[in-house]
Amino acid sequence: MPPAKKKPVRKKKAAVRKKVVRRKRKPASKKSARRGFPWLKWLLGLTLLAMLVVGGYSLYLSQVVRIKFEGKRWAIPARVYARPLELYVGANLTTERLQAELRALGYRKVKKVDSVAQWSRSGSRFVFQTRDFLFWDGMEPSRRVSLRIGGSTVAALKDAASGKSLDVLRLEPPEIGSIYPSHKEDRVLVRRDELPDHLVAALLAAEDRDYFHHHGINLYSIARALMANVRAGRTVQGGSTLTQQLVKNFFLTPERSLWRKANEALMAIILDARYGKDEILEAYANEVFLGQDGDRAIHGFGLAAYYYFNRPLNELNLAETALLVGLLKGASYYNPRKHPERALQRRNLVLQLMVDQGFIDQKTADKAMKQPLGVGKKGRLSNARHPAFIDLVRRQLQRDYQEEDLTSEGLRIFTTLDPWAQQLLDKQISSGLSGLEKRRKLPAGTLQAAMVLVSPQGGEIRALSGGREAGYAGFNRALDAVRPIGSLIKPVIYLLALSHPDDYSLVTLLEDEPVHLKDARGRVWSPKNYDKKAHGLVPLHRALAKSYNLATVHLGLALGVRNVVSLLHRLGVQRELSPLPSLLLGAVSLSPLEVAQFYQVFAAGGFRSPLRAIREIVDAQGQPLQRYPLEVAQVAEPGPVYLLDRNLVEVMRAGTGRGIRRYLPESLEVAGKTGTTDELRDSWFAGFSGDWLAVAWVGRDDNKPAGLTGSSGALVLWGRVMKALKPQPLGLLPPEDIVYIWVDPQTGYLSADYCEGAIAMPFIRGSEPQLRSDCLGEERRGGSFFERLFD
Amino acid sequence: MRIGVAAFDKGLPLPANRALIRVLFEALRATYLVAGLIFVGFLAGCATTPVPGRGGPVSNVPAESRVPPPRSNGRYQPPEVTAYREPATPKYSRPEPARAVQALSRRAEDQRASGQLVAAAASLERALRIEPKNAVLWNRLAHVRYEQKQYALASSLAAKSNAFAGQDQALRADNNKLISRSR
């Protein structure tokens, strides 16, 4: 062989050696090649080629590792919070409710509070220590607080350390869900310095004792595992290091092949060479799969701590941490909720391994082994708890954010949800519907319902029910059941009338007489009253209280259907509406949420606030991104709205809403309106107290008649929910231009407090009746009152 | 996958590897896509079919007054039952605010004075959640919005304050001044 031929080969080899990790030299083959065995030449060539390929491949793998490891490693889902509970002296709060709130936050009940996230109770006195929480507008620092409840309000609120009384304290808001991407991986990131020492110790003990000493792979443990497997005849033990496990999860598909194993080992070595042990450990702790919650995959210890124990990782004790580490072996096989005995065994094994390797002493381990699993019931973070509300939040967010940002940027979203009210709502809807079905002899499960709870003055959506099964994320009826609203529309027509005080007051007489209207195609429309009777001349207020259809159609036609539509739009209904006369009787389909929007204006004295489910959004670092502020627009005059509201109070006292007396005492004034549609398909009720606005719908998904009127169906749910909420009375405040005047209820003539049957009615100043009743005496000027009426 | 692509787009030093890596990531993306499709199919299989609400005109007219005739022929029970008498000063125009509300108002005032208008508005909104009918809080919020040059909102907030102001003439005058300035 001419030496010239050897040279380039040598060079190549050197080049490879430089780039790649050590390769075996093959002096034997060189020697034989020289002696003239041509197949050896080929062997040499092939070996070199293989080295080149392996070298190049390693280089490529190293790039893959670098890109994934140094880029954004995970999509971090947005986390959604309920409203924070505000504590202050005078706040409405029962011991039951406070306990529920503290439990929801994962605080531990103890005898004596000596650390963060603990609470104790003796009688009506509570002591608890809050966690630090970074709100949109700054940090609420951890505080030890002493609180006393008297009656059902906060009687005292003090800093437990100094004994000084506190003005106001925001508890951290309970987390109610997350918005995770379509691959359904959910996680809460933790940094290396947030990993508790006992977690790291448990990890090493159970998974990889030489983690801090090996170079990515551990040949000794592979050999040991191999032996064990050969002896058992099947795979019983794995020899993977933490690094290899991370590589497997991070870069590779879950198939089991030798090729993949080789890849895994190579990448583990590369990863170990390029990055520090702590960095790899942090990635591992955030990557691993630790449970399945419906369609959501629980990844990383940060989220697993919340998912199983409802508290942050750093608050877990030794036993709890060991349980999580035990799950690495098989999160579904050792699922502590499904297989508590397996999980307990596994946990104790992890603890024993920790003893064996000297991380803890036997006494500590024994103590931990005696503890119960301590796993909370259903994962509290699960979206399944409030699917309808989360759905609403998601839709509101989608107007302003890309789906990708929501599911990957780790945003924190502060909502208006009141978990206490939501819980009452869910309970009352489910038991209320069962009760209705029983009373009506309907098969169980026939009826469906939707309900919206709103704060009247601020338009915050406090609770939302999309159906009778609260935990079921199905059809969200509160948003998507778009149904004819029936008589719920009537207040709009009456508000329009009362906004013309020269023409209409509460005592104006309306004609409740048959109507026959022809539509464009010549079909005749002749609406009827519910009792099939015509009532002749009736005062306006009674027509609304009794929900008379004929009087309302006459009134609406006189005002103009187009004007009714434009008022509806001003009140906040955004849907296109066709101005047909049938609209006057509710042939307009809206969702419960849309109904809540226009009733909010009635409840807020003519001021419209767009209904909101979100208050603030901050980014992953806690920097404020966006606020959805309290907005107010005056869309109706306070005077007419006041008259309408008084009329809606009459509905509840003496009209179609009288059934409310079964739930609320007469002294507690509320306002509202019933709605029923054709053949009793939809049963509606919308109404408000001083502090709650609620809209309820009851019907069937198949749209068959449910057999319920507004008062026999939706009002029942409304009453049950309101009763449970313990509402404040309406407390309407007459605007400046309102005067109360004694009138004769039959004629609407002026009267006096000493006249028999006279009642005081509110009027907009200047629209008072001119005619005097007999009791008031002489001066009767005939004609003008009726003339004015029928202009 | 989005993340993969984002990292990928950050730029690579070795153009030779680019194609290879791209292939790998395409494969990854395809895997996710297939998984996604399977999942969507699964969802579609599970989803309930909502029944759409009924639209169209109501032919047979609804009603609901099923109750027997009232005993009291629609008697009103207003707060004050005297002819031509002005309503008494309501208890919540200048109420004795809860200490929490006083503290939050003070904080808002400090924030406003130091130019942190967004924070001041947030504090006032927090106070309004505690006392939604406190006319003074609505007035303060109106002022903050005015300073932020949100005149339409300021005017509405001042009008809202008036709605709760009762006989508090000083507060009313202030609100009215703000409304006229906001025009």
Q: Which of A117, A150, A174 is the last residue of a domain?
A: A174
Instruction: Collect all residues of chain A within an 8 Å Cβ-Cβ radius of residue B166.
Output: 733
Interchain pair A634, B78: CB under 8 A: no
- The residue among A174, A206, A232 that closes a domain is A174
Closest residue on chain B to A649 (Cα)? B76
Question: Is the Cβ pair A691, B24 closer than 8 Å?
Answer: no
CATH number of the domain enclosing A223: 1.10.3810.10
DSSP A511: E
Please check the confidence at residue A788 and state whether its pLDDT lies above 70.
no
Looking at the fold, whether A468 and A525 belong to one and the same domain comes out as yes
Question: Which residue carries 């407090």 as its tokens?
Answer: A753
Which chain A residues have a beta carbon less than 8 Å from that of B121? 629
Would the CB atoms of B79 and A64 count as touching at under 8 Å? no
On whether both A138 and A228 belong to a single domain, the answer is no
Q: What is the pLDDT of residues A504-528, one digit of tens each?
A: 999 999 999 999 998 778 889 999 9
Name the minimum distance, in Å, from the CA of B175 to any CA of chain A: 14
User: Is A179 within a domain?
Assistant: no
Q: Which of A42-56, A227-241, A765-779, B44-58 has the lowest mean pLDDT?
A: B44-58
CATH number of the CATH domain containing A534: 3.40.710.10
Closest partner residue to B125 among A75, A546, A629, by Cβ? A629
CA gap B143, A71 in Å, rounded: 47
Residues 6+ apart with CB under 8 A from A763: A501, A505, A506, A643, A738, A739, A740, A741, A769
Same domain, A559 and A699: yes
Closest CB from A72, A527, A760 relative to B61 = A527
**Is there a single domain that holds both residue A298 and residue A208?**
yes
pLDDT in tens, A721-755: 999 999 999 988 889 899 999 998 888 889 888 88
Inter-chain residue contact B36 with A183, CB threshold 8 Å: yes
- Chain B nearest CA to A69, separation (Å): 9
Domain-embedded: residue A454? no
Q: Encode pLDDT of B107-150 as tens digits.
A: 999 999 999 999 999 999 999 999 999 999 999 999 999 999 99
Across the range A536-540, mean pLDDT stands at 94
pLDDT at A165 over 90: yes
Is residue A131 domain-shared with residue A213, that is, in the same domain?
Answer: no
Q: φ, ψ for residue A34 (rounded to 5)? A: -65, -30
Q: Is B10 on the interface with A (CB under 8 A)?
A: yes
Higher pLDDT, B69 or A575: A575
Answer yes or no: is A516 within a domain. yes
Say what the pLDDT of residue A184 is. 85
Q: Residue A154 — φ and ψ, nearest 5°?
A: -75, 120
Q: Which ranges of A604-678 would DSSP assign to H, the alpha helix?
A: 638-654
Q: Are A717 and A451 a contacting pair, CB within 8 Å?
A: yes
Query: Do the Cβ atoms of A71 and B7 come within 8 Å?
Result: yes
Give A678's contacts in chain B (Cβ within 8 Å): 58-60, 62
Domain ranges of chain B: 2-43, 99-182
Share of chain A above pLDDT 90, in %: 66
The three-state secondary structure class of A114 is coil
Q: What is the DSSP letter of A569?
A: H
Kindly state whether residue A54 falls inside one of the protein's structural domains: yes
Q: Residue A36's pLDDT is what?
A: 65
Whether A485 maps to a domain, the answer reads: yes
User: Do residues A157 and A87 lie in contact, with contact meaning Cβ atoms separated by under 8 Å?
Assistant: yes
End position of a domain, from candidates A370, A402, A425 = A370
At A378, the pLDDT band (50, 70, 90 cuts) reads low
pLDDT greater at residue A332 or residue A262? A332
Task: Note the pTM of the prediction, 2 decimals.
Answer: 0.81
B43 CB contacts (<8 Å, ≥6 apart)?
none
A738 neighbors B79 (Cβ within 8 angstroms): no
**Complex ipTM tops 0.90:** no
* B window 130-149, beta carbon within 8 A of A: 130, 132-133, 141
Q: How many Cβ contacts (< 8 angstroms) between chains A and B?
A: 286
Beta bridge partner(s), residue A685: A674, A696
Rounded-to-integer distance, Cα A534 and Cα A514, Å? 7
The pLDDT, as a whole number, for residue B95 is 52
| β-strands A185-187, A296-299 pairing | parallel
C-alpha span between A626 and A405 (Å, rounded): 14
| Residue in this structure with the two tokens 């069937």, named with its chain if needed | A700
Percent of chain A with pLDDT over 70: 92
More confident residue, A663 or B30: A663
Using an 8 Å CB-CB cutoff, list chain B residues near A734.
78-80, 87
What is the helix (H) or strand (E) element at residue B118, kind and residue range?
helix B117-130
- Whether A526 is a known active-site residue: answer no
CA of B24, closest CA in chain A: separation in Å? 9
B6 touches chain A (CB under 8 A): yes
pLDDT band at A587 (very low <50, low <70, confident <90, very high): very high
Looking at the complex, report in whole angstroms how far the Cα of residue B183 sits from the nearest Cα belonging to chain A.
14
Q: Which CATH architecture has domain B99-182?
A: Alpha Horseshoe (1.25)
C-alpha distances in angstroms, B101 versus A546, A608, B108, B130, B136? Answer: 42, 24, 10, 7, 11
* Cβ-proximal residues to A681 (8 Å cutoff; 6+ apart), any chain: A483, A484, A699, A700, A703, A704, A705, A706, B54
Same domain? For A64 and A99 the reply is no
**Which regions in chain B score pLDDT beneath 70?**
1-96
Nearest to B62 among A137, A655, A676 (CB): A676
The residue written with tokens 């979206």 in the block is A383
Whether chain B has a CB inside 8 Å of the CB on A346: the answer is no
Q: Does A653 touch chain B (CB under 8 A)?
A: yes
A153, A169, A664, B98 from A91: Cα distances, Å:
5, 11, 22, 9
3-state secondary structure A107-164: CEECCCCCCCCEEEEECCEEEEECCCEEECCEEECCCEEEEEEECCEEEEEEECCCCC
- Spell out a b/e string for A257-285, using b for 16 or more CB atoms within 10 Å of the CB, else e: eeeeeebbbbbbbbbbeebeeeebbbbbb
Residues A244 and A298 in one domain: yes
B169 touches chain A (CB under 8 A): no
Alpha carbon B97 to its chain's center: 23
List A146, A240, A487, A712, catalytic entry: A487
Question: What pLDDT is recorded for position A67?
Answer: 84
Residue A265 is assigned to a structural domain of this protein: yes
> Given pLDDT bands bounded at 50, 70 and 90, which one contains residue A197?
very high
Mean pLDDT of A314-336: 94
pLDDT of residue A454: 98
Residues A293 and A322 in one domain: yes
- Subunit contact A654:B81, Cβ cutoff 8 A: no
Query: Does the pLDDT of residue A50 top 80, yes or no?
Result: yes
| pLDDT the model gives residue A209 | 87
pLDDT higher than threshold 70 for residue A683: yes
The pLDDT score that the predictor gives to residue A781 is: 47
Is there a catalytic annotation at residue A207? Answer: yes
Give burial (CB, 10 Å; 0-12/13-18/19+) of A725.
buried
Distances (CA, A) of A518 to A588, A751, B37: 19, 42, 52
> Would you place residue A791 in the very low, low, confident or very high pLDDT band (cuts 50, 70, 90)?
very low
Secondary structure letter of residue A614 according to DSSP: E
- In a domain, residue A191? The reply is yes
Domain count, chain A: 5
Instruction: Give Cα B69 to chain centroid, integer Å.
Output: 41
pLDDT of residue A315: 92
The three-state DSSP-derived secondary structure of B10-68 is CCCCCHHHHHHHHHHHHHHHHHHHHHHHHHHHHHHHHCCCCCCCCCCCCCCCCCCCCCC
Structure confidence at residue A155 as a pLDDT band (50, 70, 90): very high
C-alpha torsion angle, residues A646, A650, A652, A655 (rounded to 10): -150
Comparing A84-93, A234-243, A696-705, which segment has the lowest mean pLDDT? A234-243
Q: Please report the beta strands in A192-236, taking only residues with DSSP state E, as ranges in sequence order.
A: none
Catalytic one among A207, A320, A650, A669? A207
Contact A242, A208 (CB under 8 A): yes
Chain A residues 731-790 within an 8 A CB cutoff of chain B = 731-735, 738-742, 745-746, 752-753, 759-762
- Is there a contact between A426 and A90 (Cβ–Cβ < 8 Å)? no
Q: How far is A91 from chain B (nearest CA, A)?
A: 8
Q: Please state whether beta strands A671-676 and A682-688 pair in parallel, antiparallel, or not at all (unpaired).
A: antiparallel
CA dist B181 and B183 (Å) reads 6
Bridge partner list, A77:
none
The stretch A354-358 carries a mean pLDDT of 93
Alpha-carbon A247 to chain mean position: 35
In this structure, what token pair is assigned to residue A140?
């609420």
Report the DSSP beta bridge partners of residue A116: none
Q: Which position has the token pair 């993340």?
A: B3
Q: For the sheet containing A118-122, what is the strand order?
A: A108-109, A118-122, A125-129, A144-150, A153-159
Confidence of residue A74 (pLDDT cuts 50, 70, 90): confident
Are A343 and A325 in contact by the 8 Å Cβ rule? The answer is no
A647, burial (CB in 10 Å: exposed 0-12, middle 13-18, buried 19+): buried
What is the CB-side half-sphere exposure of residue A70 using CA atoms within 13 A?
A: 15
Q: Are residues A170 and A244 in the same domain?
A: no
Does the CB of B82 have a partner CB in chain A at under 8 Å? yes
Domain holding A36, by residue range, is 3-69
Report yes or no on A511 lying in a domain.
yes
For residues A717 and A654, state if they share a domain: yes
